[in-house]
A and B are shown apart, each in its own frame.
Chain A
Amino acid sequence: MTPSHLASLILFAALVSLVFAMLMREDPRARVRFGLMSFAAFVASAIVAGWLMSPFPS
């Protein structure tokens, strides 16, 4: 199985955010909001970090 970097990131962020939301919040609506915020934070921070590293050679 060889998903792309972005697909791996999205899979990872979605599954970890789901577990975090179930652990950190009790109310269903708060869980959804927390999960979405966590997912967005994972994806956005990875994209920003990747963009910041892009000028440097591998």
Chain B
Amino acid sequence: MADTPTAAVVAARPASAVPACLLAWLLPGAGHLYLRRTGKGLIFLGAIGALFILGLAMDSRLQMAVGLDDILASLFSLAQMAIGLPYVIARMLGYEAGRVTSVTFEYGNTFTAVAGLLNILVVLDAYDVAVGRKA
């Protein structure tokens, strides 16, 4: 395994993948900015950040239901948490409850969850860039 191209690249650049992935999770696009992919990083920050903020503006609830009691609720919470610091900051600012009676409540939930899910893809992309699989 050690002589495969991917493993060789990882071995050659072990330092950049971990901080890139960590930064990418904490703030959408930050991993790409760290890897000097400025254009990509700013677009991810703008698009995913906009999805999350629009979701909050549409009265999304930011759940913290992690456990085995309700698997779907847990998966939904994990999807929202995948956006990293914006989730924590929004909860601290009092956006955790949402507004169930709002007509846009479900749209808002969809926007915030998809923002988190897209950020998982962005973290994986940052990893690929860090190890040299992508430009």
Given the known A-B contacts A1-B54, A1-B104, A2-B103, are A12 and B125 also in contact in the complex, defined by CB atoms under 8 Å? no
Within the complex, which residue of A3, A8, A23, A26 is in contact with B135, where a contact is CB–CB below 8 Å? A26
Given the known A-B contacts A1-B104, A19-B48, A19-B118, are A26 and B134 also in contact in the complex, defined by CB atoms under 8 Å? yes
Contact B47 A18 (CB under 8 A): yes
B18: Cβ under 8 A from any A Cβ: no
Across the interface, which residues of B come within 8 angstroms of A12, CB to CB?
A: 51, 107, 110-111, 114
Within the complex, which residue of A1, A19, A22 is in contact with B58, where a contact is CB–CB below 8 Å? A1
Contact A16 B118 (CB under 8 A): yes
Within the complex, which residue of B40, B43, B54 is in contact with A11, where a contact is CB–CB below 8 Å? B54
* CB-based A-B contact count at 8 angstroms: 44
From 3 to 47 in chain A, residues with beta carbon under 8 angstroms from any chain B beta carbon are 3, 8, 11-12, 15-16, 18-19, 22-23, 26
Q: Label chain B's interface by main secondary structure.
A: helix
**Distance in angstroms between the alpha carbons of A26 and B39 in the assembled complex:** 12
Contact A23 B57 (CB under 8 A): no
Across the interface, which residues of A come within 8 angstroms of B102, CB to CB?
A: 2
Contact B40 A16 (CB under 8 A): no
12 pairs from A and B in contact (CB 8 Å cutoff): A1-B57, A2-B102, A3-B58, A11-B54, A15-B47, A15-B50, A16-B51, A16-B114, A18-B47, A19-B47, A19-B121, A23-B125
- Report A's interface with B, CB cutoff 8 A: 1-3, 8, 11-12, 15-16, 18-19, 22-23, 26
10 extra A-B contacts, CB within 8 A, seeds A15-B48, A19-B48:
A1-B57, A1-B104, A2-B102, A2-B104, A18-B47, A19-B118, A22-B40, A22-B43, A22-B44, A23-B121
